[in-house]
Amino acid sequence: MRNKLISDVTFTCLDVETTGLATYLGHRMCEIGLLKFCGDKELASYSKLVNSERSIPENVIEIHGITNEMVKDELIFEDIAGEVLEFIRGTVLIAHNAEFDLGFITKHLRRAKLGIPDNLVVDTLTLARRHFKFPGNSLETIADCLAIDTDGEHRALKDVTITKEMFQYFMTKLKVKTLGELLDLQGGSIPFPEIEEITPPPVISEAMESRKKLFIKYRNASGYETERIVEPIEVNAYNGTEYLIAFCHLGKEERVFRMDRILELHPATSDS
């Protein structure tokens, strides 16, 4: 595989749009775009809006333009995961800031109880930082420098088109002949991230399984204490800190609670 000519390798450019930046804070995918090509020939494209099962914040909508109304009747990612995996099967993935996209793909595949694919991954952000001197390394800045059309940027299918053109420019300027040379220039394939596995406390696990409400007394970062009725969704961990993602009836939206700031936790009474 390493000796395969770049012109003979089938690549898939990948981009996801999301409700926020961090999977461990419960953010999810709301759109995925894929573009498969080999050499100069585009082979297939795939674009789907995804029901994120949580509200998309206004400041995020301003970036990609995907509204809650647009995704509310769409399938969740778990329902399209099989066709996504089939689309990328046997291809080398390309993404700009691949760590971000792979993080969301991994998180959603775990939610779907599916394995992580073994695709090699190329990151155009890594290549830009290592081998070029653009004034900035965002997708938009590099595209502007290369005179690549960015109209419609921040929607997944447009961003994968930009990424493909950027990648092909990089290959020409770096005079890359084989896949092995490309991987060496990058420092190896970008790995899919490992998600920290945790076991929620039994009271939370039971509430999630039975879709029951919980009472919590919570102290925020300022020391202010509140009492809330919540419906737990998931528990995540990041850098040794655990987070409860739950629908909060006090705030009437999905919220994130640090587990070490929950002072009291038990099933809510029937009249809560």
The domain that contains 221 carries what CATH number? 2.30.30
> Annotated catalytic, 27?
no
Instruction: Specify whether 115 is located in the same domain as 247.
Output: no
272 falls within a domain = no
For strand 253-258 and strand 262-267, is the pairing parallel, antiparallel, or unpaired? unpaired
Measure the CA–CA gap between 238 and 254, rounded to whole angstroms: 19
Instruction: Specify whether 121 is located in the same domain as 181.
Output: yes
Give the pLDDT confidence score for residue 150 in this predicted structure. 84
* Buried b or exposed e, range 144-159, using 16+ CB within 10 angstroms: eeeebebeebbbbbbb
- Token digits for 87? 């689309």
Give me the helix-helix angle, 77-88 and 98-111, nearest 10°.
120
Out of 27, 108, 131, 154, pick the active-site residue. 154
Instruction: Specify whether 19 is located in the same domain as 150.
Output: yes
Number of Cβ atoms within 10 Å of the Cβ of 163 = 27
Q: Determine the structural domain holding residue 260 and report its residue range.
A: 202-267
Instruction: Specify whether 159 is located in the same domain as 217.
Output: no
Instruction: Specify whether 127 is located in the same domain as 208.
Output: no
263 falls within a domain = yes
Give the pLDDT confidence score for residue 271 in this predicted structure. 54
192 falls within a domain = no
68 falls within a domain = yes
Radius of gyration for the chain, computed over Cα atoms and rounded to the nearest angstrom: 21
Spatial CA neighbour of 142 closest among 157, 131, 128 = 128
Q: Are 230 and 246 in contact (CB under 8 A)?
A: yes
Measure the CA–CA gap between 48 and 54, rounded to whole angstroms: 17
Instruction: Specify whether 118 is located in the same domain as 169.
Output: yes
Instruction: Specify whether 180 is located in the same domain as 90.
Output: yes
Is the CA virtual torsion 50, 190, 125, 149 positive or negative? negative
Q: Which residue has tokens 């709301």? A: 30
3-state class (DSSP) for residue 22: coil
Choosing from 186, 221, 238, the residue where a domain stops is 186
Q: Are 135 and 145 in contact (CB under 8 A)?
A: yes
Measure the CA–CA gap between 146 and 3, rounded to whole angstroms: 29
Choosing from 186, 211, 246, the residue where a domain stops is 186
pLDDT in tens, the chain (272 residues): 889 999 999 999 999 999 999 999 999 999 999 999 999 999 999 999 999 998 899 999 999 999 999 999 999 999 999 999 999 999 999 999 999 999 999 999 998 989 999 999 999 999 999 999 999 999 999 999 999 998 876 789 999 999 999 999 999 999 999 999 999 999 999 999 987 778 899 999 999 999 999 999 999 999 999 999 999 999 999 888 999 999 999 988 889 999 999 999 999 986 55
- Token digits for 89? 């099967």
Measure the CA–CA gap between 162 and 144, rounded to whole angstroms: 10
Instruction: Specify whether 225 is located in the same domain as 177.
Output: no
Residue 131 DSSP label: H
Instruction: Specify whether 257 is located in the same domain as 137.
Output: no
84 falls within a domain = yes
| CATH number of 38's domain | 3.30.420.10
Instruction: Specify whether 172 is located in the same domain as 207.
Output: no
69 falls within a domain = yes
Spatial CA neighbour of 169 closest among 146, 198, 192 = 146
Phi, psi of 172 (to 5 degrees): -70, -50
Choosing from 159, 186, 213, the residue where a domain stops is 186
Instruction: Specify whether 67 is located in the same domain as 136.
Output: yes
108 falls within a domain = yes
244 falls within a domain = yes
Domain count, the chain: 2
Measure the CA–CA gap between 45 and 63, rounded to whole angstroms: 23
Measure the CA–CA gap between 25 and 136, rounded to whole angstroms: 28
Give the pLDDT confidence score for residue 196 in this predicted structure. 76
Instruction: Specify whether 35 is located in the same domain as 100.
Output: yes
Spatial CA neighbour of 29 closest among 43, 14, 45 = 14
